[in-house]
Structure 1
Amino acid sequence: MLGTAIGIAAWGLITGVAMGKSGLPTVAMVAMSLLVFAGSAQLAVLPLMSSGAPLWVVWATALCVNLRFVIFSAGWRPYFGHYPLGQRLRLAYLTADLNYVLFMRRFPEPKPAPEQLPYFWGGVACNWFAWQVPAITGIFLADAVPVHWGFGFAGTLALLGVGLSLVSDRATSVAAGVAACAAVAAYALPFKLNIVVAIAAAVAMGLLIDHGTPRRAPPPDGALDDKT
């Protein structure tokens, strides 16, 4: 995680500055950083909260942006599903995109092992501090940062960097392209609802590709023995 901590810290600082300039109370911003702990959701709902959008729109936007954690949760279930509910809730709070990617690379076989939980805690602890310290710093130092520095655009670039690192095959590439086109096409919708449209289009395309991809049949029981 040390290799990605610098990028996470930069993204956290950008998010903190964006929150600091949103006009929300300081206590609410710090609580949001600590409790929500989801940079993309925070950046998505900040303009909605600042403009007085209906609460259901704020919740729906955050839910749609964070739908990917449902996929992460399903991926982690074979590893952590046997732990008590309270422990699983603590694990769920600390999960993040890059932690999921690194964990799955380290443990590709979906079965529990004693070293998995220490590996998980080490990764998410590094990620949590790398995010929270710069984010809260950005909240308190936001007034010292000139608006013309363009932190909003920098935050978009940071999100793109994280998102593109997760594009690994044809299905995710096509889904990402469809999401980008849908977001631009629906840009005129109010309350940033083009984000919801983009997510729905990407999920639909991903499911369509997944169901249309033929599955490889497993080899017969004696096939490997015949070859050897």
Structure 2
Amino acid sequence: MNREVAALWRHPEFRKGSREMMSIGLGISAWGLVTGVAMVKSGLSVPLALLMSLVVFAGSSQLAALPLIASGAPLWVLWATAFCVNLRFVIFSAQWRMYFGHLPRLQRLSLAYFAADLNYVAFMRRYPEPKPGPGQIPYYAGGAAWTWASWQVPSIIGILAADRVPTEWGLGFAGVLALLGLAFSLLKDRNAWVSGAVASCAAVAAYGLPLRLNILVAISVAVAAGLLMEHWLPERKVHE
């Protein structure tokens, strides 16, 4: 096992995957720091916040769940919100299955834990042909390792230092800015832009709903808009 890990770290694709994630590492770190502070400020104890950061490796779900936890929302609302926020990983997993479906279940579960939005984008750009091939696991591992560290280290620092951060610093607004920076990096085509615009309008229109249910409304409407766009107005691929 040690030899396999060493070979993975030395593989050139591992280094390539890490390098391609470095350019967005700062945005991920800012998001992680804000989320770490927000977890403690929302009322979670330090041990519970650390557990949540390490187990729930999904920043958008954490930020969506924190206001619900703080407001005492029912558990079903909390689970439904987290489920809807992470629905995109069903699509990601369906794509990754074409590359990693032949691997043992435990290894696939390990890869699934480290799955992230921007790792998906980079991986699909690097390996556009949907079939297993050499270098795919090292590349995935390199990007995942950098993304995981870029998130967890600042998040843990934020958790441990949260009591020293004044509430009036407006960390919620900083978190929104960090999320926007990452979200804009994913808007690569017309359908993504339309879905994002629809989600924004729906979230504002449903803002008056209790328990932050406008988040669920925005996600549902955006998914429906994206599916309709894919069906009725598919993107035309340009062949070089």
Give the alignment's TM-score, normalised by structure 2.
0.87
Map residues 16-165 of structure 1 onto 2, 5 A cutoff. 16-165=36-185
Report how many aligned residue pairs link the two structures. 216
1: CA distance, partners of 2:64 / 2:26:
22
Please state how far the C-alpha of 1:214 moved relative to its aligned partner: 6.0
What CA distance in whole angstroms lies between the structure 2 residues aligned with 1:68 and 1:75?
Answer: 11
Runs of 5+ in structure 1 lacking a partner? 217-228
Q: Distance in 2 between matches of 1:78 and 1:209?
A: 24
Aligned to 2:82, the other structure's residue is in SS state helix
* 1:89 shift after superposition: 0.7
Match of 1:199 in 2: 219
Query: Are residues 181 and 118 of structure 1, via their aligned partners in 2, closer, same or farther at CA, if it must alter by over 3 Å?
Result: same
After superposition, the CA RMSD in angstroms is 1.2
Per-residue displacement from partner, 1:113-139 (whole Å, max 9, x unpaired)? 110000001110111111111101101
The residue identity in structure 2 corresponding to 1:146 is P
Q: Which runs of 5+ in 2 are unaligned?
A: 1-20
Q: Deviation at 1:80?
A: 0.7
The TM-score with structure 1 as length reference comes to: 0.92
The structure with more radius of gyration: 1
CA distance in 2: counterparts of 1:41 and 1:129, whole angstroms? 18
CA distance in 1, matches of 2:28, 2:44: 23
Q: SS of 1:100's equivalent?
A: helix
State the distance in 1 between where 2:169 and 2:45 align.
Answer: 23
Going from structure 1 to structure 2, the CA distance change for 1:98 and 1:140 (only over 3 Å counts) comes to: same
**SS of equivalent residue, structure 1 residue 141:** helix
Q: Aligned equivalents of 1:143 and 1:214: distance in 2?
A: 49
Name the structure 1 match of 2:34: 14
Aligned equivalents of 1:14, 1:168: Cα separation in 2: 26
| Amino acid corresponding to residue 48 of structure 2 in structure 1 | A
Q: Which of these residues, 228, 231, 234, is aligned with residue 208 of structure 1?
A: 228
Deviation at 1:191, TM superposition (A): 0.9
Residues 127 and 179 of structure 1, relative CA distance in 2, 3 Å threshold: same
Q: What do residues 131-184 of structure 1 show as CA deviations (whole Å, max 9, x unaligned)?
A: 111101101101111111111011111111111111111111111100000000
Matched residue type, 1:188: G
Separation in 2 of the partners of 1:160 and 1:5?
A: 15
CA contact (8 A) 2:27 2:181 kept: no
